[in-house]
Structure 1
């Protein structure tokens, strides 16, 4: 009973840490999902075709997206 009472002040902190983990896991899932990678690559291609990116900028951005996909979770 005393242990439970002593742990009460720490519960909000534990809840915040648990919520932060959930948010981080969801952010990682969205950032590294194959669908997200595909959308980013498609958007880069669209921007290059529209003249918003030159070839060098396109290649650099494409490489960053592909590197993220290859090094997922590391």
Structure 2
């Protein structure tokens, strides 16, 4: 962009900066959501809930399928860091 367009667009700088911040937050949220370590931890918590009688077998199966789908997507696309730091 040229100098004139930068000056003319200057009043919109907060909006452009806000858009960048929102994109960064969404990117990090997606990285955590698809982090294999996070998904495995959620699977372990789900199994503990089943064993403690907090959820039914049907609810366990439904949630487990969702988590396994996320894990498959994560491993297929290489999403997530897998370093075990997500959600901590």
User: Match for residue 71 of structure 1?
Assistant: 73
TM-score by length of 1: 0.87
- Measured in 2, the distance between the counterparts of 1:14 and 1:35 equals 34
Query: Which has a greater percent of helix?
Result: 1
Aligned residues: 73
Residues 50 and 60, structure 2, Cα contact 8 Å, conserved in 1:
yes
Query: Equivalent residue for 2:37?
Result: 35
1:23 is aligned to 25
Higher RCO (C-alpha under 8 Å, 6+ residues apart): 2
Gaps of 5+ in 1: none
1:50 to 2:57 alignment? no
TM-score for both structures, normalised by structure 2: 0.75
